[in-house]
A = this chain, B = another copy of it.
Amino acid sequence: MFEFDVQYRDGRARVAQLHTPRGTVTTPMFMPVGTQGTVKGVSPQELLEIGSQMILGNTYHLMLRPGEALVEAHGGLPGFTAYPGPFLTDSGGFQVMSLGHMRKITEEGVTFKSHLDGSLVKLTPERSIEVQQALGADIIMAFDECPPYPAEREYIQRSLERTERWLGRSLSAKTNDHQALFAIVQGGVHEDLRRQSLALTLPYDTPGFAIGGLAVGEPKDQMYPAVAFTAAHLPEHKPRYLMGVGHPEDLVAGIALGVDMFDCVYPTRTGRFGYALTDDGRLNMNSSAPRRELVPMDADCDCYACRNYTRAYLAHLVKAEEMLAPRMLSLHNLRYLHRLVERARAAIERGEYHVWASEWAERYFKGQIPAWFQQAIDTGRSATPDPAI
């Protein structure tokens, strides 16, 4: 269980199978986010149809509402949500930082006021694991602290040291064998701090490792060197999960650097705002042009919206504020990201990842490929450095 079989490699990019109690998934993969026990606007049946493999649930939200006991009474997230496949839950740490009010961080854990009713709630490594065990995901995350960007170097360092102690407590609190607990490497955008966090984290030899603390506001040209460095020093035979990422270009760059797992609310959120992801960039369905176009949002896409609807129809729904609009745009955007990683996997299997990624980027960025992206692709082509830290 939780074996990770790498089947193809191309530079640092790889295709692998990850075995979980609720089924085997193929990486690289993008995980739709079901914050409150539902991927906003998309049914489990639709998630299966568009090729979703693993759904992310948010510990912070679910512990506050409806409470983990109710989810557990349904047999965990699969029974509660009717999505029959594997789940991953985060530890709650990140969202305490971003959503909790008046939070107080001590060695014990974090005390904060619920964003729902202002009640005082405490989250510790032990409590996070207790909740995550009740939620019953296949993969659970160590309780960590994710510093904001920017943050003082000294703060990031103290924080990553505490994150390591919390990892130890998270592992000690875990009482079952059917959930895999992934550790999280922190260190912000500082290579030496990432190195330190790696040195503290790797000895725990967890079944997978996450790259945390990124995509929190730092520029991409600081983020990707940190991804490259961290991913290169994580074990070859364990999955690497870049948390809270990302946009299409982030997936293509991250995969080049050896990342296997991604999650982000972006595809559903931007869909609710009326934007459709395509190989030509983001299509603004709020603008007037699509209202006259009798072609699919994305002619290459096989989702229900693109098979059945014109841009004109969907743009009408957006304008008329009809529920079917965010529903269809969310569905399409998730399918776009799933298709993107499917194409990435095929390119890795052919040994042509950098060619495919460059061609994809040429069109997506309309000939203006950003330096950070090109550097990620180039770095990914080169051999992985000596994994020794």
Contacts and interface: CB of A to CB of B under 8 A. Distances in A.
Contact of A66 (B42, B316, B326): B316
Given A74-B310, A316-B65, A316-B70, A41 B80 contact: no
Nearest to A325: B38
How many copies, total? Answer: 2
A114 B317 CA distance: 18
Contacts of A316: 36-37, 65-66, 70
Contacts of A65: 316, 319-320
Nearest to A81: B313
Interface in A5-53: 36-38, 40-45
A291 interface: yes
Interface in A318-351: 319-320, 322-324, 326-327
Contact of A324 (B38, B294, B312): B38
Nearest to A315: B66
A317 B62 CA distance: 11
A74 B38 contact: no
Given A294-B74, A326-B323, A37 B317 contact: yes
| Interface size class, chain A | 35 or more
A322 B36 contact: yes
A66 B291 contact: yes
Given A45-B304, A66-B291, A291-B66, A36 B312 contact: no
A73 interface: yes
A294 B36 CA distance: 18
Contact of A308 (B37, B82, B326): B82
A309 interface: yes
B45 A317 contact: no
Contacts of A317: 36-38
A36 B324 CA distance: 11
A36 B321 CA distance: 10
Given A291-B66, A323-B323, A324-B43, A312 B38 contact: no
Interface of A: 36-38, 40-45, 65-66, 70, 73-74, 80-82, 291-292, 294, 304, 308-310, 312-313, 316-317, 319-320, 322-324, 326-327
6 contacts: A37-B320, A37-B322, A40-B323, A41-B323, A43-B304, A74-B310
Given A65-B320, A70-B312, 4 more contacts: A36-B320, A42-B324, A66-B312, A66-B316
